[in-house]
Each structure stands twice: as structure tokens, then as C-alpha cells.
């Protein structure tokens, strides 16, 4: 499985868009990019995933570069409840896929 | 609704004792995973299973074992608990490329 690199911490003003980058330069053609977040000490929560096209759901948007070596998670209107650690992972499209987490990005939202 | 539950939520044990943490999912997922998370760090993969009778070692498997006798359960056993195994343990399940579903965690303290 490809590894990912994320900045250890970021902050964003409440109401603004939060843009969280992720580098996955060794991603292979059959690997998807997934984003999760962990609020305080709860179990991680799925946010969004994609292969090569940009994706949007009710929580966030995912922008994947054309060469697929990096991606950006966008929280369009950040709120205090979005304060969490955000994890970017890559995994194969198969049932037999080991899932490894990196250190993530700690996002702080300022009032 | 389908869910994944972990028990106990909190456990205190003594060094050298055998401890088993339970994980039960009703998603009917083939893939199940155990992670540990130490204070201020990301998740590290301990063991994982792709189906009944299948188990695999993860990044930090020493001192831990799992067994998969049915689809719903993947108990994690610490053969002889050590203080270095004090941590929060998360169980997760998935199928194919579906997102991981996490339990709420078990906080284990080894004294």
C-alpha cells in the first residue's frame, strides 16, 4: 500500500474553507484515496473517497490532481465541530486490502 | 442498524495477565482490523482478517493474537500484558472497497 504524507497541524477560521493537503506520490493505479477524521478519542469517521475524479458529498469535497500524486480535502465552511485529526490513506480496490494509517493532520478551528 | 461494538470500554489489568478484548460487527463484513492508538499518535495496525479462519500480522503484532471463528467476531488477546501495551484499541470492519467502520474503542491500562 502506498504511504501518505500530511502536515502535522493546521488551523482555519470558523466559516472559512479548510483545505487539507495529502501527498501520495507512490500511489498505484488501482488505489483509492480515503479520508477519515477522528474527533477527540472517538473511533475514526469516514468522510469521503475517490479514485481520480473530484468527489463531493454532504461533508466535504475531494480534489485529486491529474497525476494522482496528491489530493486536497476541502471542508467548505468549517465549524468548531470540525476540530479533529484528519487522516488520508490509500488502499487498493479489493477485499484483501491492508489499511495503514499515517499520523494525520490536527485541524484546529478558531472562532 | 448494523454496527460494530467493542467491549469492555475500559479495562485495568496487571502485568503478566492474559487479556481479551472483544469486537463484534453486524455488517456481515469479511474484513476486520485491530488498531492501537497511543496518546498523541496515529493508529497502528496490530492484526487483520479477511475472513473466517484467516488472520494476518500487522505493523505491531508482537504480544498480540487474534482468531476468527465466525464472520461477526475478531477477539484480540494479549497473552501476557505489559505496561507498553497500555493504549486505546480500536476495531474496524469493511468489505471490498467500502469505508472502514470503527468501534468506539477500548481503553486498556496495564499496571
pLDDT score of A94: 63
Distance of alpha carbon B17 from alpha carbon B15, whole angstroms: 6
CB-CB neighbours of B11 under 10 Å: 16
Q: Does A41 touch chain B (CB under 8 A)?
A: yes
pLDDT score of B106: 98
Examine the pLDDT at A98 and tell me if it is beyond 70. Answer: yes
pLDDT score of A2: 59
pLDDT score of A103: 86
CB contact under 8 A, B30 and A102: no
Helix (H, G, I), strand (E, B) or coil at B83: helix
If you average pLDDT over every residue of chain A, what do you get?
Answer: 91
Model confidence over B81-94: pLDDT tens digits?
A: 999 999 999 999 99
If you average pLDDT over every residue of chain B, what do you get?
Answer: 94
Model confidence over A4-57: pLDDT tens digits?
A: 999 999 999 999 999 999 999 999 888 899 999 999 889 999 999 999 989 999
Q: Which chain A residues have a beta carbon less than 8 Å from that of B102?
A: 43-45
Shortest CA gap B94–chain A (Å) = 8
Query: How wide is the angle at C-alpha B30 spanned by C-alphas B25 and B32, nearest 5°?
Result: 60
Q: State percent of chain A over pLDDT 70.
A: 94
CB contact under 8 A, B44 and A101: yes
Q: What is the mean pLDDT of residues B46-59?
A: 94
Are B91 and B8 contacting, i.e. CB atoms less than 8 angstroms apart?
no
Among A29, A83, A37, A104, residue whose Cα is nearest residue B40: A104
Out of B35, B42, B92, name the one closest to residue A102 (CB): B42
Are B47 and B39 contacting, i.e. CB atoms less than 8 angstroms apart?
no
pLDDT score of A67: 95
pLDDT score of B98: 82
Q: Which chain B residues have a beta carbon less than 8 Å from that of A95?
A: 30-31, 50, 95-96
Q: Nearest residue on chain A to B47, judged by CA atoms?
A: A98
Q: Does A50 touch chain B (CB under 8 A)?
A: no
pLDDT score of A53: 86
Helix (H, G, I), strand (E, B) or coil at B85: helix
pLDDT score of A28: 87
**Strands of chain A, DSSP E:** 9-13, 18-23, 31-38, 45-50, 55-56, 61-64, 70-75, 84-92, 105-110
Out of A43, A91, A98, name the one closest to residue B90 (CB): A43
CB contact under 8 A, A95 and B58: no
pLDDT score of A93: 66
pLDDT score of B81: 97
Q: What is the mean pLDDT of residues B56-73?
A: 96
Examine the pLDDT at A81 and tell me if it is beyond 80. Answer: yes
Amino acid at each position: 500500500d502506498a504511504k501518505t504524507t500530511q502536515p502535522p497541524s493546521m488551523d482555519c477560521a470558523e466559516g472559512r474553507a479548510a483545505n487539507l493537503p495529502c501527498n501520495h506520490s507512490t500511489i498505484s493505479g488501482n488505489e483509492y484515496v480515503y479520508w477519515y477524521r477522528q474527533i477527540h478519542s472517538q473511533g475514526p469517521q469516514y468522510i469521503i473517497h475517490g479514485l481520480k475524479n473530484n468527489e463531493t458529498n454532504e461533508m466535504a469535497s475531494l480534489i485529486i490532481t491529474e497525476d494522482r500524486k496528491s489530493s486536497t480535502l476541502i471542508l467548505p465552511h468549517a465549524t468548531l465541530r470540525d476540530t479533529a485529526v484528519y487522516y488520508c490513506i490509500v488502499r487498493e480496490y479489493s477485499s484483501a486490502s491492508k489499511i495503514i494509517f499515517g499520523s494525520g493532520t490536527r485541524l484546529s478551528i478558531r472562532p | 442498524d448494523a454496527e460494530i461494538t467493542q467491549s469492555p470500554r475500559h479495562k485495568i489489568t496487571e502485568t503478566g495477565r492474559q487479556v481479551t478484548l472483544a469486537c463484534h460487527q453486524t455488517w456481515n463484513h469479511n474484513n476486520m482490523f485491530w488498531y492501537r492508538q497511543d496518546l498523541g499518535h496515529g493508529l497502528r495496525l496490530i492484526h487483520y482478517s479477511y475472513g473466517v479462519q484467516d488472520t494476518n500480522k500487522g505493523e505491531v503484532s508482537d504480544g498480540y493474537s487474534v482468531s476468527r471463528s465466525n464472520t461477526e467476531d475478531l477477539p484480540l488477546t494479549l497473552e501476557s500484558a505489559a505496561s507498553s501495551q497500555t493504549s486505546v484499541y480500536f476495531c474496524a470492519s469493511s468489505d471490498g472497497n467500502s469505508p472502514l467502520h470503527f468501534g468506539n474503542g477500548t481503553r486498556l491500562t496495564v499496571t
